[in-house]
Structure 1
Amino acid sequence: MRHAQRCRDVSLALAISCPVIFLHGLGDTGHSWADALSSIRLPYVKYICPHAPRIPVTLNMKMVMPSWFDLMGLSPDAPEDEAGIKKAAENIKAIIEHEVKNGIPPNRIILGGFSQGGALSLYTALTCQHQLAGIVALSCWLPLHKAFPQAASNSMNKDIAILQCHGEMDPMIPVRFGALTAEKLKSVVTPTKVQFKTYPGVMHSSCPQEMMAVKEFIEKLLPRI
């Protein structure tokens, strides 16, 4: 009888695992971030780290590599792959929808990512019809930023919590672009819900302090039931 009860308890614990969907950066795969996130693993949280498709990337001389959408440049005024960004966002929304259909309440789902993946997580969540728990945006920017706040007019996430982190020595996406993104986000969601943390000496990468901030953010938004 006790064995049967333990089995039911384990099944219940698995059934209520809260998903953190985390998107990798350009040229990477989900495996590296699955490894990184394992260092802040919580027993009731599952990490979903999908892989981007391999496509030619304009920024890298049309080399074929894992990329959520095409990149033409990394400055705020660079041309953008609008169709590719919107298509990629729909693909991530399909992952969210799959979790919801499996019984996970949307407000127990966090969406996040690093660099290009963080950019896509911001765009996807801010145009999503499901009310999510929060967004983790590491070393990134808001794609199609000129379309906001109008692009979020039908979103359920105007009051969503956002943790945005950036290395102060980032040579690829300078920290000032991160600061501009944070200010833009405050015009899209409740300003007090946007946290922007910077890390001295950190380049285009993560660090243990940043990962602890991510863990604390997840624990706050997805408390154990």
Structure 2
Amino acid sequence: MCGNNMSLPLPAIVPAALKATAAVSGGCLAAKAFAGIQTPHSPFKPVTLNVGMTMPSWFDIIGLQTDAEEDEAGIKHVSEKTKTLIDQEVKIGITSHRIVLGGFSRDGALSLYTALTTQQKLEGVVALSCWLPLQYTLKYRLPCIRSEMHVLQCHGEVDPLVPNLCNLSNITYNTYPRMPHSACPEEMMDIKQFIDQQLPPI
């Protein structure tokens, strides 16, 4: 929610000021007026990693170690919902290669997983302070990165929550000194530059 009052959620879909020719899906991602922006709101649910306390989350997070158990059913369920949003954008005239997914932490993880499993050929992914979930199911898809889509992965060098591990090769991978599990102005500029480059006006 980018620091906004969570009792007053922002609109989930922000229409383009002009005729939309591209779509950006994910919280806290900037795009020009020609791109429609979707920021779906996650439901509140108990999260194991949060000592079972309720918080906004698409799926349960059990642990963040590379060998931690994962909520496979939950991840796949919400990924299918995200794919439905992608299909809706394509149906209204946005070609799939003009769509970028992205998000922070678990939303970035969901974006990576969805982009690697959708049948649509997306333009790219912005993955912020996140990890690649269900890696064992994706080994056959990893070589497709870069040839099919562009990935910007950003991570703070002192993130105490999500390990600073680049799970993918052949991507743009930026790290930021002294940045914890958060964001910084330099990262925001890198995101803007990435989206401007991948979704130029047409």
Cα distance in 2 between the residues matched to 1:41 and 1:156: 22
Cα RMSD of the aligned pairs, angstroms, is: 2.0
1:51 and 2:41 matched: yes
1:103 and 2:93 matched: yes
Per-residue deviation, residues 121-148 of structure 1 (Å, max 9, x unmatched): 0000000100111000000000011222
| Residue 66 to residue 107, structure 1, CA distance change in 2 (3 Å) | same
Cα distance in 1 between the residues matched to 2:158 and 2:47: 25
Cα distance in 2 between the residues matched to 1:94 and 1:157: 24
Per-residue deviation, residues 14-60 of structure 1 (Å, max 9, x unmatched): 3334211014xxxxxxxxx3xxx4xx441212221111122221112
- Report 1:1-225 matches (<5 A): 14-23=18-27, 33=28, 37=29, 40-150=30-140, 152=141, 159-175=148-164, 177=165, 179=166, 181=167, 185-186=168-169, 191=170, 194-225=171-202
Partner of 1:30: none
State the Cα distance separating 1:61 from its structure 2 match.
2.2
Other structure's SS at 1:100 match: helix
Cα distance in 1 between the residues matched to 2:74 and 2:33: 35
Aligned length: 186
Cα distance in 2 between the residues matched to 1:203 and 1:167: 5
Identity %: 50
State the Cα distance separating 1:99 from its structure 2 match.
0.7
On the 8 A contact 1:130/1:157 being kept in 2, the answer is no
Other structure's SS at 2:18 match: helix
On the 8 A contact 2:22/2:199 being kept in 1, the answer is yes
Q: Which has the larger radius of gyration?
A: 1
Which TM-score applies when normalising by structure 1?
A: 0.77
State the Cα distance separating 1:158 from its structure 2 match.
5.5
- The structure with the greater share of residues assigned to helix is 1
Per-residue deviation, residues 71-102 of structure 1 (Å, max 9, x unmatched): 10111111000111100100111111111111
On the 8 A contact 2:130/2:155 being kept in 1, the answer is yes
Which TM-score applies when normalising by structure 2?
A: 0.85
- Unaligned stretches of 5+ residues in structure 1: 1-11, 24-32
| Residue 65 to residue 13, structure 1, CA distance change in 2 (3 Å) | closer
Cα distance in 2 between the residues matched to 1:197 and 1:157: 16
Code of the aligned partner of 2:104: F
